[in-house]
């Protein structure tokens, strides 16, 4: 005990230690009620609103991913349905207008064939007419060369 007393004496501890201790303890009690309790509440509230909400954020993210997958599958289904409708309408229109197209194509081909035949006949008639004139022109040419 003498060593403890010697250490306290070297540190400058005297009879004012007890009143200082009581003042510090009293200030702690006052600070606890006025400030520290409120600070503890703020810290706990902040932790509840940040760290503990992480699990609910994970659940929300899972729900968002699930909803995104559902949306994508519904969009894909709607696209497939739209393509079926477009394909059926296209086939219907092709069937409806296919005969008209073929008929018109035959008429155009017949017109082209008739025009070609008329042109060939005209060429043949002009050819025979020109060949008939060739002899007379050849004779005229020979006469002019000899003269």
pLDDT at site 86? 94
- pTM of the entire structure? 0.40
What pLDDT score does 53 carry?
A: 75
User: What are the pLDDT tens digits along the chain (147 aa)?
Assistant: 889 888 888 888 777 888 888 999 999 999 999 999 999 999 998 888 887 777 777 888 899 999 999 999 999 999 999 999 999 999 988 888 888 888 889 999 999 999 999 999 998 888 888 877 887 888 888 888 887
Q: By three-state DSSP, how is residue 17 classified?
A: helix
pLDDT number for residue 28: 93
Both tokens of residue 26? 């009293």
Supply the pLDDT for residue 66: 95
Domain positions in the chain are 1-52
- pLDDT reported for residue 94: 85
């Amino acid at each position: 005990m003498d060593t403890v007393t010697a250490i306290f004496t070297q540190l400058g501890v005297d009879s004012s230690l007890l009143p200082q201790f009581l003042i510090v303890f009293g200030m702690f009690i006052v600070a606890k009620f006025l400030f520290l309790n409120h600070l503890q509440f703020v810290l706990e509230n902040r932790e509840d609103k940040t760290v503990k909400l992480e699990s609910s954020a994970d659940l929300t993210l899972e729900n968002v991913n699930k909803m995104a997958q559902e949306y994508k599958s519904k969009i894909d289904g709607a696209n497939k349905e739209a393509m079926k409708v477009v394909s059926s309408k296209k086939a219907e229109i092709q069937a409806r207008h296919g005969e008209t197209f073929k008929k018109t194509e035959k008429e155009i081909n017949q017109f082209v064939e008739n025009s070609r035949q008329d042109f060939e006949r005209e060429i043949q008639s002009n050819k025979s007419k020109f060949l008939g004139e060739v002899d007379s022109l050849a004779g005229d040419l020979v006469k002019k060369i000899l003269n």
